[in-house]
A and B are shown apart, each in its own frame.
Chain A
Amino acid sequence: MDLDARLENVAVLGAAGKMGSGIALLLAQEMAKQKIASGGDRSYVLTLMDVDQSALTGLMSYLRAQLTKLGEKSTIALRADYADRADLVENGDIINAFVEEALSFCRPTTSLDAIKGANLVFEAIIEDKNIKLDVLKKIDALCPDAYYLTNTSSIPIGVIDKGVPLNGRIIGYHFYNPPAVQKLLELISPEGVKPELVETGVELAKKLRKKVFLANDIAGFIGNGHFMRDILHATSEVKKLAQEAGEAEAAYMMNRVSQEFMIRPMGIFQLIDYVGIDVCRFIMNVMTEHIEGETLSDDLLNRMAEAGVMGGQHADGSQKDGFLKYERGRPAGIYDLTKGGYVMFADGDWAAALDSKLGSLPDGHAPWRALLMDPKKDEKLEVYFGNLAKSGALGSNLAKAYLVRSREIGEKLVSDGVANSVDDVNGVMMNGFYHLYGPINKHVDLMVDAVR
């Protein structure tokens, strides 16, 4: 069965969740396009399964709103698609028809039985191996020929494949959050995977306009494989700095170093909050379970979780407080475990004192946002990193050590066979984490001596 045929009957498990709803939107868009292109000759079903009935209602509103926005953005193409429909004249008529067409084949359900007959099953349920195995076993009995695409960000795909068993009918299909926006897709092939399934996955990614990177089946894969170890470096630095400065103060400094001195889109603790402290801990646990000889665990994250500070996002996508406190989406304070509350950047002069302790940013620094679209980005980074290497400021030294460690992590992903190449590691970090430069880069050569 080719991809077009498989797309006639698709199911998303965990469709009302953060990842599931984005995946559902991408599929609804693509299937609606195919349906229109087929002139209505083919019928389509997108089964949207979730255990939470009220969240499914929210999902349908979300899909309607997002499909409308998409229709508004692609009206020029839709007018051509609907050229034969004499009843659709104005843009408003055409956008509505597109939205209704897409929603007409979306079937929200809480029942697993509704998935019967699906050709492609996207799995985005809770990151728990036993629950995943249990659900997939039940579904496989209903859809014995289906291909499975799991969004797990850490559990080895081979474990799921053998546990069900699915006999090579599953790949990791790891979207980044939010799936509708993020361009990166990690495709993970377990041992014994059906080659047609990998081809189908690559072809589908193209249709969904995603950039695919192939990763091997080792827990954490490329993205989290790097990110989790990156976190551990930051927290180990916090531990050292905390002896003199205090823990919250140390976290403030590392957050600033990782964002500004390293010119990343956000500081490491803001990124942990974005993903969710509990989610990070969970991924570390799963990686520890499946990777021999390495324990990924962090005392600071554990203590934050025990204190009930979790980060993550509200249902509307806004940021919950975590390591940092957010005001209008921007960090405004940091959690102090000894005080059991947030200390605000604007209260007193502690933040300014820490900033001066870190020292000024090396010459040639530009904020991440300014460089993002700059055609001379690479030249400017080269100048900046040259100055960073020479700078003896505390912030610069912490950044240098971080860059060296980040490269080691990236190189180990290649040598351990998680990634097939340096380019894949760099590609995932640049496309999934919006880094301006990959962790494995020549600039780090300048830092190595300084760090040692």
Chain B
Amino acid sequence: MKSLRKPIYATAAYNTVSLGTGRKEFHPKKPRPGIEHYIEEAGRGALAQINDTANIDEGVIANFMAPRFNRQGNLPALMPLIDAKLEYKPLVSVEGACGSGGLALTTATKSILSGMADTVLAVGVEVQNTVKAIYGADILGGAGHYASQRKSGHAYFFPSKFSDRAGAAYEKFGYDKVREAMARWYERAVLNARECPKAQEHHNSTEDLFATGMTRPNGKTFCDHINVYDCSKVSDGASAVVFASEEGLSKLGVDKKDTVELIGFGQVVADISKDPEDQTKLTTSARAAKAAMEMAGITPKDIGMLEVHDCFTIGGILSLEAIGICGSGEAFDFVREGGTAPAGAMPTNLSGGLVGYGHYTGGTGVRQAADIVMQFTGKPDGQKLVQDANKPYGLMVSMGGNDRTVVSCVFKKVR
């Protein structure tokens, strides 16, 4: 088992608004900020929390499909738009579908571990409202295997992949139980998002969220086993976090109390051309989380909060089992009984997660890390503080595709 050769800290977290349907200021026919705006806002929001951009050694930018959504490639060269002092520094982009953000975290970490950098700015961004959802589904479909899966796939390619998972869960564990758990997940996501002014569902004022979440799936208009409330929405947004070594922190003038320590990570990739062995299990996520916890030297019992990749409600629920919070088939009751609520046994996705906060795909992994930094440094930007002194650990899972490219990180509160 590899271990970290020196302490790694994350600090200076910043999230933009997650813009899309649901936000009052969103109008599909009116002009909106472009990808540059989000990169700049998130990057500057992070850099405002350190002394001088000149002290940033490297930069990494996570994104999934800017070449199609925004007709823009060569993203590293967009980073100097944040601050001219980033120009001529080693900047790099990473892509692993919706797991891109997680790759930015491990890439930054590895640079510091290698000794090539003491400080790295990690930014994650996606601006997806440039096309209608039906065409966006094509673009996001790139997270699956185009050659072997797209032609036979559904119009809503990814929703249908997780619809298949939900269908398998209905069959194995019973429709009512699974359906109710998914509706409760939706309800909880929106309730948490209401607390966060920048969340996409912040303005959602639906009275009976559970009833909405229980809407019966209709394969003629959408997918056979999930409804639209089971899905994260189309989002524009970006997040940024600065990673640093001990030396890096002093260079940046950042106090340790404003940081969290990254104490373990797992980066695991499965073959894109293969279908899941068991539709009710996220086996790649399980490997990533296991590796991260082993490196961190903790078990699921030590975890105080989770950030999981609920691109679909069923995915969020199954990830509880993948991480080991619940045994096989037990996550449905755990969620139905409020286990993931801020006051529950395992507070999860406190700013709303992908369903509630929004899912700017390539940027989401960075947003998850940013939320953990905010949670453990007591600067929560809306999310409820849930810290338990006996469980000073936060675990996140950033997942690309149908459980293919996965990063899991364990962060520890710095005392």
**Interface residues, chain A, CB within 8 Å of chain B?**
72, 75-76, 78-79, 86, 89-92, 95
Contacts and interface: CB of A to CB of B under 8 A. Distances in A.
B129 to A, nearest CB: 16
A75 B132 CA distance: 13
Contact of A89 (B134, B151, B154): B151
Contacts of A95: 134
B220 interface: yes
Contact of B221 (A76, A78, A92): A76
Contacts of A72: 132, 134
Contacts of A76: 154-156, 219-222
Given A76-B220, A76-B221, A92 B135 contact: yes
B381 interface: no
A90 B138 contact: yes
B134 A91 contact: yes
Nearest to A85: B151
Nearest to B223: A76
Interface in B126-151: 132, 134-135, 137-138, 141, 146, 150-151
Contacts of B132: 72
Given A72-B134, A90-B138, A91-B137, 7 more contacts: A72-B132, A76-B156, A76-B220, A89-B150, A92-B135, A92-B138, A95-B134
B221 A90 contact: no
A90 B134 contact: no
Contacts of B221: 76
A90 B220 contact: no
B385 to A, nearest CB: 42
A86 B147 CA distance: 11
A71 to B, nearest CB: 9
Contact of B150 (A75, A78, A90): A90
Nearest to A82: B151
Contact of A90 (B141, B156, B219, B222): B141
Nearest to B147: A89
A86 B138 contact: no
B54 to A, nearest CB: 45
Q: How large is the interface on B (under 10, 10 to 19, 20 to 34, 35 or more residues)?
A: 10 to 19
B154 A79 contact: yes
B135 A91 contact: yes
Contacts of B219: 76
Contacts of A89: 146, 150-151
Given A72-B132, A76-B220, A91 B151 contact: no
Nearest to B138: A90
A79 B153 CA distance: 9
Q: Which of A75, A89, A90, A95 has its CB near the most chain B CB atoms (within 10 A)?
A: A90
Interface string B180-197: 000000000000000000
Contacts of B146: 89
Contacts of A92: 135, 138
A91 B154 CA distance: 9
A95 B141 CA distance: 16
18 contacts: A72-B132, A72-B134, A76-B156, A76-B219, A76-B220, A76-B222, A78-B155, A79-B154, A79-B155, A86-B151, A89-B146, A89-B151, A90-B138, A90-B141, A90-B150, A91-B138, A92-B138, A95-B134
6 nearest CB pairs, A to B: A75-B155, A90-B138, A76-B155, A72-B134, A89-B151, A91-B138
B142 to A, nearest CB: 10
Interface in B174-222: 219-222
Interface in B218-238: 219-222
Q: Which of B141, B154, B155 has its CB near the most chain A CB atoms (within 10 A)?
A: B155
Nearest to A76: B155
Contacts of B220: 76
Nearest to B153: A79
Nearest to B156: A76
A95 B132 CA distance: 13
Contacts of A78: 155
Nearest to B155: A75
A87 to B, nearest CB: 10
Interface string B21-57: 0000000000000000000000000000000000000
A75 B141 CA distance: 15
A95 B154 CA distance: 14
A48 B16 CA distance: 51
A439 to B, nearest CB: 35
